Structure 1
Amino acid sequence: MNDFPAGHSSLYQFLYYWQTLISGVLALIAAIITIMKLSEQIQVQERQHTETRQSKAWAARAMLLLCLSAISKYTSEMALWLLDNNRERPNSPDEVIKILVEKIEFLPANASKKIFEIIKQYQIMEARTRTRDRQTNDHIYEFSYLRALADSLFEFAREETNQVQEREPTRDNMVCALDGMLGLDRYHHQHVYDQVLERINRAPRHA
Structure 2
Amino acid sequence: MVLGIIDLRLFQHVAEMDNPFSIIAFIYTWQTLISGVLALTAAMGTIHVMNLQRRDEWVKHNDRIYRSSLSARAKMPDAIDDISLYFKACFEFIKEGLSDFPKQPEKSINVLKESIQFLDNNSAEMIYELIVFYQIYNARLKSHSESRGTVDKDDIYFDTIKINSMNLNIFDFARNREKVISKRKLNRDDLKRSIIDLIGFMNWNLNPANKDFEKHLECIVEIRCPS
Please, what TM-score do these two structures have when normalized by structure 1? 0.83
Q: Aligned in 2, Cα 1:163/1:107: closer, same or farther, shift over 3 Å?
A: closer
Residue 194 of structure 2, aligned match among 152, 177, 194: 177
Moved more, 173-182 or 187-196: 187-196
Amino acid at match of 1:203: R
After superposition, the C-alpha distances for 1:1-39 in whole angstroms (9 at most, x for unaligned) are: x758xxxxx555554444433322221111110111111
Amino acid at match of 2:198: M
The match for 1:7 is none
After superposition, the C-alpha distances for 1:142-172 in whole angstroms (9 at most, x for unaligned) are: 1111111111111122221224232222222
Q: Aligned in 2, Cα 1:86/1:164: closer, same or farther, shift over 3 Å?
A: closer
The 5-angstrom pairing of residues 150-189 of structure 1 reads 150-183=167-200
- 1:203 correspondence with 2:203: no
The match for 1:69 is 81
After superposition, the C-alpha distances for 1:34-72 in whole angstroms (9 at most, x for unaligned) are: 111111122222222222222222222222322221211
> What is the distance in 1 between the residues matched to 2:120 and 2:79?
17
> What is the distance in 1 between the residues matched to 2:62 and 2:193?
38
The match for 2:105 is 93
Does the 8 Å CA contact 2:120/2:180 hold for their aligned counterparts?
no
Percent identity, aligned pairs only, is 26
Unaligned ranges ≥5, structure 1: 5-9
Q: Aligned in 2, Cα 1:176/1:161: closer, same or farther, shift over 3 Å?
A: same
- 1:44 correspondence with 2:61: no
> What is the distance in 1 between the residues matched to 2:89 and 2:103?
9
Moved more, 67-76 or 43-52: 43-52
The match for 2:93 is 81
> What is the distance in 1 between the residues matched to 2:55 and 2:217?
57
> What is the distance in 2 between the residues matched to 1:77 and 1:101?
22
Does the 8 Å CA contact 1:137/1:192 hold for their aligned counterparts?
no
Q: Quote the offset at 1:75 in angstroms.
A: 0.6
Aligned length: 201
Does the 8 Å CA contact 1:110/1:166 hold for their aligned counterparts?
yes
Does the 8 Å CA contact 1:156/1:162 hold for their aligned counterparts?
yes
Unaligned ranges ≥5, structure 2: 1-8, 12-21
The match for 1:112 is 124
Residue 136 of structure 1, aligned match among 153, 171, 182: 153
Does the 8 Å CA contact 1:186/1:193 hold for their aligned counterparts?
no
- 1:29 correspondence with 2:41: yes
Give the number of the structure whose alpha-carbon radius of gyration is greater.
Answer: 2
Please, what TM-score do these two structures have when normalized by structure 2? 0.76
What is the alpha-carbon root mean square deviation over aligned residues?
2.6
